[in-house]
Amino acid sequence: MNGVLRSALALFLLSSAVAACTSAEQQAAQPTVTRAAEVPKVPHTPTATATAAAPAVTIAEAGRALNDYLATDDVIRAGGDERMALKLSRDAQLPLMVAHYRDSKKRLPRYTWGPARTLLVPRLKPDAPTRWFAALVERRSATGASRTALLAFVSHKGGPAWQKTFETLLDPRTGPPKMFRDADGYATALDARDQSVLVSPNLFGPLHATVAEEGADGYAARLISPGRWTTDYYSQIVKEKDTAQQVNGLAYNSIFAAAAYPVLALRTEEGGALVLYTLIRTSTWTTPKSGGSGQGIVFAIHRPVEIPKDARWDLPKPGDEFIDNERRIISTLQYAGLVPPKNAQAAQAQVIGQDGFVTSASTS
């Protein structure tokens, strides 16, 4: 996407994100969502109250599903059972799981999951066609390194019981967000187009992509806070462009785009939103032969260029270190975003979690 189109998109998203009113149609589509100004703060320890009908997913069911998955995941990793791993995955987790198995040659790293597991179970209507919940769990590697993982699981009518749709790792500097829960301990799901928050959940990904490509001077920077997963991407792209051009005679470009995977959102304690979403990053290195911007620098053609480590699983053939026309590397990246309520003063949305991997690579 060229700069003009990208800027136009950013302006459109910016104006959409700060729109002051919600249409009657949107209100009808999300009757269970409380507007930010009306959200009361409640203790995290729920009190027992009677409910008219059990929600589509109960806290007890979500707890069993999470524990079963984590126990099964360890067995699958120990045995290198890719087929079973794929059966338990969906959406962005499906290509990510394939990539991890191919990269590790079916010897995936094993993790120890901490006993403290925070469930984020939205109170969904009993007849909801799509059931889902999220969870925060401590994940320890074989070296003892500990991170907080944010997982989400989905179950559709007529489909498998539960499949993992999302996994990211929270930034240890920010810590887990404080979530709103009702008196029974249930979270509140937000519609993808909810406008009670600074940035609607469905717009967070496109705005994030814009900041990554345009940096702090871009139109979307006023809504998304700077950092290593936002404006730092822009600095890295500029540096990589210079290196590719001067060292290898190649033109380099890196595009971020919101992926066509589910966007999940939950109300935070302050009335904002925790948003779970996926971006696709496409990085290309092109030679003058293919019409790249490095045209005229002939030493690029047939020049060996180091393959990034994460992409080596998909570029195993002899000759892949050479770029005759183009090298294309696609990464699937899952993020957690924290959005303040619309009435917050001088606040920006934050990206508080990231995880992902190269899911496709090619050289021609």
- Sequence-distant (6+) residues with CB within 8 A of 314 are 99, 102, 358, 360, 361, 362
Considering its fold, how many domains does the chain have in total? 1
Residues of the chain by 3-state class (helix, strand, coil), percent to 5:
30, 30, 40
Is the CB of residue 328 less than 8 Å from the CB of residue 290? no
Give me the tens of pLDDT residue by residue for the chain, a chain 364 residues long.
444 445 444 444 444 444 433 333 333 333 333 333 333 333 344 444 444 678 999 999 999 999 999 999 999 999 999 999 999 999 999 999 999 999 999 889 999 999 989 999 999 999 988 999 999 999 999 888 999 999 999 998 777 789 999 999 999 999 899 999 999 999 999 999 999 999 999 999 999 999 999 999 988 899 999 999 999 999 999 999 999 888 888 899 999 999 999 999 999 999 999 999 999 999 999 987 665 554 445 556 666 788 899 999 999 888 888 888 899 999 999 999 999 999 887 789 999 999 999 999 998 8
How big is the chain, counted in residues? 364
Domain limits for position 170:
3-363
pTM (predicted TM-score): 0.84
Handedness of CA 313, 318, 323, 324 (dihedral sign): negative
- How many CB atoms are closer than 10 A to CB 182? 17
